[in-house]
Amino acid sequence: MTATKRVRVHDRQGWRQWLGGFFSSSIGLKWLMALTGIGLLLYVLAHLIGNLKIFAGVDPETGAYPIDLYSEALTTLGGHIVPEGSILLLFRIGLTSMFILHIWSAAVLTRRNRAARGRGRYDATREYITATYASRTMRFSGIIVLLFLIFHLADLTLGNANPDYVYGAVHDNIIASLSRPVVAVFYMAANVALALHIYHGAWSLFQSLGTVNVKYNVLRRYFAGAFAAVILIGNLSIPLAVLAGWVS
């Protein structure tokens, strides 16, 4: 019998040049996703460390909040060597590009995978054995995190979503924002989604990058679990503390 028609899950015509071929391949896209994922993980961790300064309260001598100083320090990174805010701008550009690449590769892969599945669906309920809840909901947890991110920026960076927003007064802004229970709940829900996303992502990235060593493979799961737990606990502690009135 004649060969099956190629499904053309994707067509690489015109992409052959240089790394174009690589990044148009699904493995290349997963590689890109893993690399940007690492960047985003580092960002999430740094962001958490910075935010935990809210627990440092107020400096009794100067009356300033350390978290406000931290925020100010971000704009003056590079000291007198570069124009003020330029390093932060670079960070922001880098971060935004990572988000865009991460989401773009996810979108391309999702489209391809839909094509690869075709219209056939199993009638019997699949009982997944290895696939976790986290791995099967990456798309949704990702979207929740993205929506939250937009709100979060509007709320605490741009101030549009926060009536009490004052530029530079980070501590006050956080307290004002998270004192609204709806916002606090959304904040917490989004962080649960983020932790799930990290739980699969921080393991999966090793597979995608091909970092495999039978001897140490088990550590990859521990790492992903620990990373997700740290981010979850750290990020949840802030709204909980605000709601409980431990920080004000």
Partner 1 sequence: MDFSLKVWRQDSPDAPGGFKTYQAKNISPEASFLEMLDDVNEHLNTIGEEPIAFDDDCREGICGMCGVMVNGHPHGPQDGTATCQLHMRKFSDGDSITIEPWRAAGMPVVRDLIVDRSPLDRIIEAGGYISVNTGAAPDANVIAIPKEAAEASMDAASCIGCAACIAACPNSAANLFTAAKIGHLSLLPQGQPERWTRVIAMVETMEEYFGSCTNHGECESACPKNISIDFIAMMNRDYVKAQFKNFAKIGQ
- Residue numbers of the site for partner 1 (CB under 8 A)? 1, 3-4, 6-10, 12, 19, 21-22, 25-31, 109, 112-113, 115-132, 135-136, 138, 200, 203-204, 206-212, 214, 217
Min dist. Cβ of residue 35 to partner 1 (A): 11
Nearer to partner 1, 101 or 242 (CB): 101
Q: Which is nearer to partner 1, 9 or 189 (CB)?
A: 9
Phi-psi category of residue 118: left, alpha or beta, with phi > 0 → left and psi -120 to 50 → alpha: left
CB of 159 to partner 1, least distance (A): 37
Cβ at position 129, least distance to partner 1 in Å: 4
5 versus 80: smaller Cβ distance to partner 1? 5
Residue 176 beta carbon to partner 1: minimum distance, rounded to whole angstroms: 40
The alpha-helical segments, DSSP class H, found in the chain are 20-24, 26-51, 66-75, 86-117, 133-136, 138-152, 170-178, 181-209, 217-244
Q: Can you say whether residue 159 is alpha, beta or left, with left for phi > 0 and alpha for psi between -120 and 50 degrees?
A: left
Cβ 14 to partner 1 shortest distance, Å: 14
Closer CB to partner 1, residue 162 or residue 208? Answer: 208
- 128 CB-near residues (< 8 Å, 6+ apart): 136
Closest CA to 193 of 139, 114, 127: 139
Contact between 190 and 91 (Cβ < 8 Å): no
Closer to partner 1 by CB, 1 or 182: give it. 1
- Give the residue with the Cβ less far from partner 1, 152 or 220: 220
Q: What is the spatial distance between Cα 122 and Cα 129, in angstroms, rounded to a whole number?
A: 16
Least distance (Å) between residue 133 CB and partner 1: 11
- H helices of 52-178, in order, are 66-75, 86-117, 133-136, 138-152, 170-178
**Which one, 112 or 180, has the nearer CB to partner 1?**
112
Tokens coding 87: 């390093």
In angstroms, the CA 240 to CA 185 distance is 9
Q: How far is the CB of 48 from partner 1 (least distance, A)?
A: 25
